[in-house]
Chains A and B, each alone.
Chain A
Amino acid sequence: MVGLLVRLRFDLWRHGLRHSPPRIASVVIGGVAALIGWAVLVPTLVLMSTQPLRVTAATVPLFATLTLLWAVLSLVAAGVDQTLDPARFAVLPVPARQLVPGQFAAAFVGIPGIFTLGLALAQVASWATHPVALPGALLGAVLGVATAVLLSRVLTTALARVMTSRRGREIGAIVVSLITLAPMGFNLLIGRGAHLDVRTLDAEPMAVLAGWTPVGWAWALPDDLARGRWAAAGIHAALALLLVAGLWWAWVRLLARVLTSPLVTGGGQRIGPGRLLPRLLGDGPAAAIAIRRIRAWRRDSRLVSIGLRTVILPVVLIAQGLLAGGANPLAPMGAVILAVFSGLTLMNDLAFDGPPWWVHLATGVPGRDDRLGRVIATGVVFGPLTLLTYAVSVGLGLVAHPVAWLTVVVSALLCSMGTAAFVGSYLPGTAPRTGGNPFAAQSGAAAQGCVTALVSFVVPAALLVPIAVPAVLTASSPLRWLVLGIGLVWGLSVLGAAVVLGGRRLDAQGPEMLGLLARAQM
């Protein structure tokens, strides 16, 4: 069964590649990134063996963080590969117990899995000068990598099930934000007062702290052994084994539930009539599209997870600005980044619609109305959020020149929405399947993501320059208000042009867009 599943995973992956240049590009980019990562990290880890024990001990907090990152990234960034979606095995007479080993092995047949395995083996080499620690390093590597993979699978499977209901989506949202903030808290905790200088670095206190967290139990083994802490080593080994066994058991239980009840939207979901939005936005196609997209931000667990990904980084930046104290550029930059990210969520809006977009095409909705409706929805969802974030930063005294920064924030939101509305009418992007696992990895998304990310950061940045430069120059003069007005007009013009030009593109190439959308959901 293990060999069968690994082979199936590989075959599906190969067939997927053959029909999709973006996926090939994704694999190439991912592979190159992994090789670069290895080129830097593997020699560093090997060289650690020549260093005193206080330096070598740094592997413990490093790999504990890596384990935690597996869980976090699978939730908020990379997603989990769904090539072997367990729900597809529901009709076969295979119990979950037999499926888990194969699913587990298949999880390694991918760039992240192989990359992590390589690093874990290099970690063994870090302890080469302490023969007594070597068995611990090896056992730690095996248990640690297993913990990372199992943790990411268990978390995403469990949350995907929870998030099928509206209440569950809210709980899921809170859990995901807490988990996302975990590495930051983790590093604040174990990295207190550390300064990275090999001559004086003493990683031992960090190693001890990290070693007593669940993600560090396995990685602490070699350090314990090298220092002759036999009891601690025994406890760590026992705890790490128990954790892997517990996660394994949890995954079997979760898979058994998936096999008997594939992921469905909470049964019989009833929806009361909404009256506020129609009254606010009025009639017509653009308003109808806007209302549908605004409601989706609450109803669609895929968008809930996107929303979280959008908000996390700016919140982290503002939190750091707050920690740094006083007026500094971190907090307003957080608001600018939030503005840019928010606008860019528009980019793959069509992919989230997917094949049902035929309704727009068959009813002959003008492309302009399609673009405008989506722009309004993004504006209604993220406009107030961005402004509120900015107002809070100003209220906390973190912003030195509130008007100048406001100009930049507002123009950034408008320009990035414009860029996304225009680019999205050419490249619909990708999205997880409707009703599917919101944490599913978007195969091929990496390459399209790289291209569009390049476009989507360079273009808004270029569009911002004509406003940001005068805003900085007039930051303390009364002219700053005039620049704010100009920024508003400029941003709205960019947005208007994008709606018209993007709309024309959709009018001209509607059927071709529908063809792209048939393959846009993974």
Chain B
Amino acid sequence: MTLGGTPAPGAEPGAAFECDRLVKSFHGREVVHGLSLSVPRGSMFGLVGPNGAGKTTTLSMATGLLRPDAGTARILGADVWADPSAAKALMGVAPDGMRLFEQLSGRELLEYVGALRRMPRATAAQRTAELLDVLGLAGDSDVVVADYSAGMVKKIALATALIHAPRVLVLDEPFEAVDPVSGQTIRTILRRFVEGGGTVIMSSHVMELVEGLCDRVAVIVDGRVRAAGTLEELRGDKTLHERFLELVGASDAGVGGLTWLDS
């Protein structure tokens, strides 16, 4: 495991987010095999791949939630595992499927995260109010998160990642369970974030969404990067959906059975 200051081979200097040869095994089975990834500043980066490809595992290792067996991860040059506090101060994280402190109200949760980030109380309170308002949660700000719908939970999780004005946003499936109206709000927020100089790394398995939002894409299959580059480079003259199926090697064969489903 290299912890030194040399950038990963092929990495652009000053990348916002870079992983270098990340490896992770669970119960003796390697699921991420020396994965390297570099995201330039100011990108809207989409990480796509089939279920079980290692997207969440990779993002967890890059955000300091899961220790890699080998390899390094950097946020704007700060090593996530050698200097975690510097790296964590620069990024906002919203993992998928990891519960929040459900017994706090939405407002309390955001102010809590603000306090954990050592923000002045007045600033945290003001940003909390603004975020709740923009995300359409103002009416439910005093309701405990346990009573939120899945889409509302996604939105409040995004707000917890945004409250300290990070430079890099790492979002796992940010649009899952979100209704179209809120989805549009989130898209607008993310675009603004990137226009303001921020970098977004998001995973998704909805190709149309990535195609419409991201400028750079990486396809992960079986714990390896199968293809990466700008959206145009990657898809060529096809749609991202078609290109993705090609890369993954999927086909329609195998669903010929199930005749008993016909009613």
When the two chains form their complex, are residues B147 and A362 in contact, meaning their CB atoms are under 8 A apart?
Answer: no
Chain B min CB distance to A112 (Å): 31
When the two chains form their complex, are residues A364 and B143 in contact, meaning their CB atoms are under 8 A apart?
Answer: no
- Which of A93-101, A181-189, A284-292, A466-474 makes up part of the contact surface? A284-292
Q: Is B113 engaged at the interface, CB distance under 8 Å to the other chain?
A: yes
Q: Which B-chain residue is minimally distant from A272 (CB atoms)?
A: B142
When the two chains form their complex, are residues B67 and A359 in contact, meaning their CB atoms are under 8 A apart?
Answer: no
Q: Is B63 engaged at the interface, CB distance under 8 Å to the other chain?
A: yes
Chain B min CB distance to A272 (Å): 7
Which residues 135-165 of B sit at the A interface, judged by CB distance below 8 A? 142-144, 146-147, 160
Once the chains are docked, how many angstroms separate the CA of A265 from the CA of B84? 36
When the two chains form their complex, are residues A299 and B88 in contact, meaning their CB atoms are under 8 A apart?
Answer: no
Q: Which residues of A contact B89 (CB under 8 A)?
A: 364
When the two chains form their complex, are residues A362 and B115 in contact, meaning their CB atoms are under 8 A apart?
Answer: no
Cross-interface CB contact of B160 among A273, A359, A514, cutoff 8 Å: A359
Known contacts A265-B147, A353-B101, A359-B160; is-contact A278 B121 (Cβ 8 Å): yes
Which residues 506-522 of A sit at the B interface, judged by CB distance below 8 A? 510-512, 514-515
Cross-interface CB contact of A512 among B67, B105, B107, B121, cutoff 8 Å: B67
Q: Which residues of B contact A113 (CB under 8 A)?
A: none
Q: Is A40 engaged at the interface, CB distance under 8 Å to the other chain?
A: no
Once the chains are docked, how many angstroms separate the CA of A361 from the CA of B84? 10
Interface size class of B (residues with CB under 8 A): 35 or more
Which residues 413-437 of A sit at the B interface, judged by CB distance below 8 A? 434-435
When the two chains form their complex, are residues B100 and A285 in contact, meaning their CB atoms are under 8 A apart?
Answer: no
When the two chains form their complex, are residues B117 and A363 in contact, meaning their CB atoms are under 8 A apart?
Answer: yes
Q: Which A-chain residue is minimally distant from B111 (CB atoms)?
A: A288
- Which of B10-18, B91-99, B246-254 makes up part of the contact surface? B91-99
Once the chains are docked, how many angstroms separate the CA of A285 from the CA of B121? 11
Interface size class of A (residues with CB under 8 A): 35 or more
Cross-interface CB contact of B103 among A264, A278, A434, A512, cutoff 8 Å: A434
Once the chains are docked, how many angstroms separate the CA of A358 from the CA of B98? 8
Q: Which residues of A contact B93 (CB under 8 A)?
A: 362
Q: Which A-chain residue is minimally distant from B93 (CB atoms)?
A: A362
Q: Is A200 engaged at the interface, CB distance under 8 Å to the other chain?
A: no
Q: Which residues of A contact B104 (CB under 8 A)?
A: 271, 292
Known contacts A265-B147, A269-B143; is-contact A288 B84 (Cβ 8 Å): no
Known contacts A265-B146, A353-B101; is-contact A288 B67 (Cβ 8 Å): no
When the two chains form their complex, are residues A511 and B66 in contact, meaning their CB atoms are under 8 A apart?
Answer: yes
| Binary CB contact string for chain A from 256 to 281 against chain B (1 if under 8 A, 0 otherwise) | 00000000110111111100001000
Q: Which residues of B contact A362 (CB under 8 A)?
A: 63-65, 88, 93, 95
Instruction: Known pairs A284-B118, A288-B112, A362-B95; list 8 more (Cβ under 8 Å).
Output: A268-B143, A285-B115, A289-B116, A356-B100, A356-B101, A363-B117, A364-B85, A511-B64
- Which residues from chain A sit less than 8 Å from chain B, CB to CB? 264-265, 267-273, 278, 283-285, 287-289, 292, 295-296, 299-300, 353-356, 358-366, 434-435, 510-512, 514-515
Q: List 7 A-B contacts (CB under 8 A).
A: A264-B146, A292-B104, A356-B101, A359-B113, A363-B117, A434-B146, A512-B67
